[in-house]
Chains A and B, each alone.
Chain A
Amino acid sequence: MESLTFRHTTKTPLAGSKPQAITGVVASGNLEILLERVLPPDTCEVAIETPVSGYGQVWEAVVADFVARAQPGGLRISINDGGARPDTVSLRLLQGARLMEA
């Protein structure tokens, strides 16, 4: 298993006040994402556990694009990966952010 952590500063906090959400399932080619509103409003941290090693740069790019797009300030995001493709990761992150905004 490989562990990766990325920390970003955001321009704004994520809208909404939902404290916590989870989406996705740990299955082959899929992943689960736990979102918790526990950090300072201008900070986002994404921690990943993945069985597929060597894709650090791809994760970094996916997370950076997500942060730029969703501005998820205040969130600690934890991922259990089952070998998901980057587009699936991206989709789940956006789904997660939408749940937190609700």
Chain B
Amino acid sequence: MADWRGERKARDARIEAGRAHAQGKVVPAGEATALLDAVLKPGDRVCLEGDNQKQADCLARALSQCDPARVHGLHMVQSGIVLPEHLDVFETGIAERLDYSYSGPQGARVAKMLYGGQIKLGAVHTYLELFARYFIDLTPHVALIAGVSADREGNLYTGPNTEDTPTIVEATHFKNGVVIAQVNEIVDKVPRVDIPGDRIDFVVEADTPFFVEPLFTRDPAAMTETQILIAMMAIKGIYAEYGVRRLNHGIGFGTAAIELLLPTYGEKLGLKGEIATHFALNPHPTLIPAIESGWVRQVHCFGSEVGMDRYIRERPDVFFTGADGSLRSNRALCQTAGLYACDMFIGATLQIDLMGHSSTVTQSRVAGFGGAPNMGSDPHGRRHPSDPWMKAGREGQVVGDPALMRGRKLVVQMVETFGEKLVPTFVERLDALELAKKIGLELAPVMIYADDVTHIVTEEGIANLLLCRDADDREQAIRGVAGYTEVGRGRDRAKVEELRARGIIRRPEDLGIEPLDADRSLLAARSIKDLVHWSGGLYEPPARFRNW
């Protein structure tokens, strides 16, 4: 007779084994490795929480110190490969297989270990895609998560950086898995219950507060005239042109420049209330002036940002906050919002090819995707109309019955034609293809596929790919904004002028923008200190961004 409760019994046995190291649910930091040795079994699927922001770092260290004779061959299913320990476990054999999403700082080591065969890779996902697989075929046996505080019952307060936690716990706890949370402190009563205690099996009192990377802080002092020029073109040629109100911004200086131009240049163009009112976005410090000037109605966040907590607390009309007053972020829901409820994604990339495929992979680094491919894709399941979505749809419609036309999400790549050290952004062939071949990836790590991209903006102009009608239009539209890169210099000048006449390429002068007006004095804030002033002293920047 079939046993329908095998998994349940196995979970109970794991929890029982772990109890030896706990007082109730509470485990001291020094016992964390012993707890993991007791709970984990060889070959387990383990989700170690960590993404581009917060990290369950205490539990990552504990896992890396497990006995490989007892704990080995783990299949790690996790958002981020960010800490050295995330890869150390593959060197010692504790872990063997990997499915993940993002690996910013460890990108080079990931590539090396993939090449060396130390990691058996399933796939590099987008965040939302990996979360989805937690519920289908990558459900964790054990989840190691991070929170701010917990009570002795295990009720968990995740604080402003809730991020991935609810999703991980949902998949693990409700499918017979064990959930272990590290917290900065054990308290009698948590400020708010983000995860009910009956879903948390063990609480480890961490030796240090969990690490959060200030990944979304861009210092206005470092913004260049070129970035300002590109931002001006984007505002006038895309935001205003399509009337984009609901959107997601990438993480780069270009979009930060747009945020700082809204209250100045945008105001001058009379666009307040007409564009950029609703965001799926982390609480970017550079958004403060636009919020304070009344541009931004609402922001839903993937996570928080270091130093922004006090400011957010005082602006509950704009942000999602709990009864305790602090931010409630949620990566899975914000990614969904970015996919379905935003009319535009605008962000940067490292390489774009002649068709418009883009990638952040270089020959030696696998940086992963995070959320960009999800934000930067046209959701075919969308069914609600909006003006920008319908306009983009009309522009892209070539054949067929107009009554059956659907809209298009605007997916905008905003790049400078040359990157750091004069490396060209525009290339004939993406490095991602070379890397995929070298390390044996079945699917080349393309960030955004060409058929999702609608516009490319550079300092030379805007290429509207929706209006291109054949492959030659498209290639010359891209060459036509590729500046002095080899790709740009290889343009057919007559064809590019024809595209300009058709409005497919628009130069600054076509938009009524004088490049010499692109000046730093246009920025609503020119330093981090200015942002602090805009916030009325509520923004508390990390020490590394200060010069006072």
- Measured in the bound complex, the distance between the Cα atoms of B416 and A85 in whole Å is 10
- Measured in the bound complex, the distance between the Cα atoms of B422 and A35 in whole Å is 25
Question: Are B515 and A91 within 8 A (Cβ)?
Answer: yes
Question: Are B489 and A52 within 8 A (Cβ)?
Answer: no
Q: At the interface, yes or no: A94 with Cβ under 8 Å from chain B?
A: yes
Question: Which of the segments A2-10, A39-47, A54-62, A71-79 contacts the partner chain?
Answer: A54-62
Q: What distance in Å separates the Cβ of B238 from its nearest Cβ neighbour in chain A?
A: 20
Closest residue on chain A to residue B418 by CB atoms: A85
Q: What distance in Å separates the Cβ of A15 from its nearest Cβ neighbour in chain B?
A: 15
Question: Are B459 and A83 within 8 A (Cβ)?
Answer: no
| Known contacts A91-B225, A91-B226; A98 and B516 CB within 8 A of each other | yes
Q: At the interface, yes or no: B484 with Cβ under 8 Å from chain A?
A: yes
Question: Are B422 and A85 within 8 A (Cβ)?
Answer: yes
Which A residues are in CB contact (< 8 Å) with B422?
Answer: 52, 55, 83, 85
Tell me the A6-62 residues at the B interface (CB within 8 Å). 52, 55, 57-58, 61-62
0/1 interface trace, chain B 483-499, chain A, CB 8 Å (1 if under): 11000010000000000
Question: Are A86 and B226 within 8 A (Cβ)?
Answer: no
Which B residues are in CB contact (< 8 Å) with A85?
Answer: 226, 416-418, 422
| Known contacts A57-B489, A61-B484, A61-B489; A86 and B418 CB within 8 A of each other | yes
Question: Are A86 and B515 within 8 A (Cβ)?
Answer: no
Which B residues are in CB contact (< 8 Å) with A62?
Answer: 484
Which B residues are in CB contact (< 8 Å) with A88?
Answer: 224-226
- Measured in the bound complex, the distance between the Cα atoms of B516 and A30 in whole Å is 16
Which A residues are in CB contact (< 8 Å) with B416?
Answer: 85, 87
Interface size range of chain B in the complex: 10 to 19
- Measured in the bound complex, the distance between the Cα atoms of B337 and A78 in whole Å is 53
Question: Are A87 and B516 within 8 A (Cβ)?
Answer: no
Closest residue on chain B to residue A97 by CB atoms: B516
Question: Are A87 and B459 within 8 A (Cβ)?
Answer: yes
Which residue in A52, A86, A95 is a CB contact (below 8 Å) of B483? Answer: A86
| Known contacts A61-B489, A85-B418, A86-B418; A91 and B516 CB within 8 A of each other | yes
Question: Are B483 and A87 within 8 A (Cβ)?
Answer: yes
| Known contacts A86-B483, A87-B416; A95 and B226 CB within 8 A of each other | no
Which A residues are in CB contact (< 8 Å) with B224?
Answer: 88
Q: What distance in Å separates the Cβ of A27 from its nearest Cβ neighbour in chain B?
A: 12
Question: Are A87 and B489 within 8 A (Cβ)?
Answer: no
- Measured in the bound complex, the distance between the Cα atoms of B459 and A58 in whole Å is 16
- Measured in the bound complex, the distance between the Cα atoms of B515 and A95 in whole Å is 10
Closest residue on chain A to residue B484 by CB atoms: A86
Question: Are B226 and A58 within 8 A (Cβ)?
Answer: no
Closest residue on chain A to residue B515 by CB atoms: A91
Q: Which of B225, B484, B515 has the largest number of chain A CB atoms within 10 A?
A: B484
- Measured in the bound complex, the distance between the Cα atoms of B420 and A52 in whole Å is 13
- Measured in the bound complex, the distance between the Cα atoms of B520 and A91 in whole Å is 14
0/1 interface trace, chain B 221-256, chain A, CB 8 Å (1 if under): 000111000000000000000000000000000000
Tell me the B459-515 residues at the A interface (CB within 8 Å). 459-460, 483-484, 489, 515
Question: Are A94 and B418 within 8 A (Cβ)?
Answer: no
Which B residues are in CB contact (< 8 Å) with A58?
Answer: 484, 489
Question: Can you name 20 extra interface pairs (CB under 8 A) apart from A58-B489, A91-B515?
Answer: A52-B422, A55-B422, A57-B489, A61-B489, A62-B484, A85-B416, A85-B418, A85-B422, A86-B417, A86-B483, A86-B484, A87-B418, A87-B459, A87-B460, A87-B483, A88-B224, A88-B225, A88-B226, A94-B515, A94-B516
A sample of 22 cross-chain residue pairs with beta-carbon separation below 8 angstroms, ordered by A number, consists of A52-B422, A55-B422, A57-B489, A58-B489, A61-B484, A62-B484, A85-B416, A86-B417, A86-B483, A86-B484, A87-B416, A87-B417, A87-B460, A87-B483, A87-B484, A88-B224, A88-B226, A91-B515, A91-B516, A94-B516, A95-B516, A98-B516
